[in-house]
Chain A
Amino acid sequence: DGGITQSPKYLFRKEGQNVTLSCEQNLNHDAMYWYRQDPGQGLRLIYYSQIVNDFQKGDIAEGYSVSREKKESFPLTVTSAQKNPTAFYLCASSAGQRAETQYFGPGTRLLVL
């Protein structure tokens, strides 16, 4: 089955802690994205990567970091600098640079203890 997997489904963060959200895709897509979704709001772009070993900041990158060491993997770290991390995090991918046809993973819900 081709698709995007995200883990864990739920994640709890303590004050001052960094946490990493996993995103893996086996669609052979070049581009990958991280979005944040808050209740009643649309998706906001955190980071995106068009090729391996390259990534760019989105609209709300502060307090987050990413890496793209492999084509199929794009992990997101929520650092302690992100003061309001509670949200639903969505990973997506697209073939080439066709951002208009993005396919999403099931999401990770991050909660702060």
Chain B
Amino acid sequence: QKEVEQDPGPLSVPEGAIVSLNCTYSNSAFQYFMWYRQYSRKGPELLMYTYSSGNKEDGRFTAQVDKSSKYISLFIRDSQPSDSATYLCAMSASSGSARQLTFGSGTQLTVLP
């Protein structure tokens, strides 16, 4: 079993829809939770970063962490065709440890105009 599980999709939604992307994990030591967006044939870009449980909002994006369920989510409101990309979740057990990022396999999202 992988430490981080992410539904690969593909996921297609109409423009303006609310998108929900999710990851589950098994390592209870994870404390830092990130979402990266990766356009085709490009490097990932950091989208959201959350420490411990709770919600974090940035514009149309909301990241949620439920440590009790070992479940994280990324919500995209008013989705746009420019949001079409692969979304990767990533997690870290501790700060100050350079190597400890574990990635999900990514969910491919297409927003249809």
Q: Are B98 and A50 in contact (CB under 8 A)?
A: yes
CB distance from B10 to the nearest CB of A (A): 11
Q: Distance (Å) between the CB of A1 and the closest chain B CB? A: 15
A68→B46 CA distance, assembly (Å): 24
Nearest B residue to A44 by beta-carbon distance? B103
Shortest Cβ distance from B8 into A: residue: A40
Q: Given the known A-B contacts A99-B98, A99-B99, A99-B100, are A42 and B4 also in contact in the complex, defined by CB atoms under 8 Å?
A: yes
Q: Are A100 and B43 in contact (CB under 8 A)?
A: no
A residues in contact with B104, CB < 8 Å: 42
Q: Indicate if the CB atoms of A104 and B44 lie closer than 8 Å.
A: yes
Main secondary structure of the interface of A (DSSP, over half): strand
**Using a Cβ–Cβ cut-off of 8 Å, how many residues does chain B contribute to the interface with A?**
28
Which B residues, 72 to 113, have Cβ-Cβ distances below 8 Å to chain A? 88, 90, 92, 95-106
Given A31-B98, A98-B95, A100-B32, check contact A42 B46 (CB 8 Å). Answer: no
Type the 1/0 row for A36-72, where 1 means its CB is closer than 8 Å to any CB of B.
0000111111001010000010100000000000000
Could you say which of A13-21, A78-86, A105-113 contacts chain B?
A105-113
Known: A31-B98, A106-B42. A43 touches B103 (CB 8 A): yes
